[in-house]
Structure 1
């Protein structure tokens, strides 16, 4: 079990809190006034554009209880707890290469190499490929899993050529 520590949010000078785990492994946030909230969930404000900036600690009923302006400002044990919770909650593999597609019409089956290994996804339609900021793309498959292409220009030429057919 990780040790307790007082955390100070930089832009909320009056908000101190401790972060621990209960016997079931759920996060417990205790505010400066002694109020404890079990089962809190960290939520990134900008999960793709600025994943380490702005993390809200949310109650089970969806209310923000505390704000962490920068993840790297937390002491290591608490940062590890928050990162573990975020990893369990967020699943967004990054596509590194498009190995092949079944057809250039939709729906089509794509075989892709991701940072988590090779997989197959089904693209229902071109509208399931969304441009985010700059050269970042978000692809949603038929099961609702989101795949990230952080930088379209970092993909190999063959992968970019396949994507061009769908964009």
Structure 2
């Protein structure tokens, strides 16, 4: 199969092999082992545009919208994406060690409480026209703020000092 050929979600089946890896079988019966789903737009449209990539880095399948795919394929893809991606959603900023950088932030996320070091103001980026932010710590972990204006007043005050 050529790297330019894309199989749509209606023309393949996806299953886990004996080792737990994803296995894609196309309409011609060709099997691709260890397929990895990759989101085209992980923040803006996480359920739209998912590429299924083989071990050699070629796209072997494409899902326009995950909701259009039948079960259990949806669950297989979502589970694989969860194990591959790690982007905690920041829900509250409890405190910062200083208002100058680098500084340590103590935060509450959807995955629990944690601390991280913010290297500089430039590590806080606005995402598109939404009120979303992406905050990178010194280790490269990205923390997502879905809506900066939906945070509590204390968190907004802290965040305003860095924006």
In the alignment, structure 1 residue 149 sits paired with structure 2 residue 139: no
Q: Secondary structure at the match of 1:103?
A: coil
In the alignment, structure 1 residue 31 sits paired with structure 2 residue 30: no
Tell me which residue corresponds to 2:47. Answer: 52
Measured in 1, the distance between the counterparts of 2:85 and 2:69 equals 20
In the alignment, structure 1 residue 137 sits paired with structure 2 residue 136: no
Measured in 1, the distance between the counterparts of 2:55 and 2:42 equals 20
Tell me which residue corresponds to 1:9. Answer: 8
Tell me which residue corresponds to 2:160. Answer: 164
Shift in Å at residue 22 of structure 1? 0.9
Q: Secondary structure at the match of 1:65?
A: strand
> Structure 2: which 5+ runs fail to align?
1-6
- The higher-RCO structure (CA 8 Å, 6+ apart) is 2
1:78-133 alpha-carbon deviations (Å, 9 max, x no partner): 11110110000011010111000000111100000111111001101111101112
Matches of residues 12-161 of structure 1 in structure 2 within 5 Å? 16-133=11-128, 134-161=130-157
RMSD: 1.3
Shift in Å at residue 63 of structure 1? 1.1
> Structure 1: which 5+ runs fail to align?
1-7
Measured in 1, the distance between the counterparts of 2:154 and 2:73 equals 43
Shift in Å at residue 77 of structure 1? 0.9
Measured in 2, the distance between the counterparts of 1:36 and 1:125 equals 47
User: Aligned pair count?
Assistant: 156
Measured in 2, the distance between the counterparts of 1:156 and 1:77 equals 38
Shift in Å at residue 60 of structure 1? 1.0
Runs (4 or more) in structure 1 with deviation over 2 Å come to none
TM, length-normalised to structure 1: 0.90
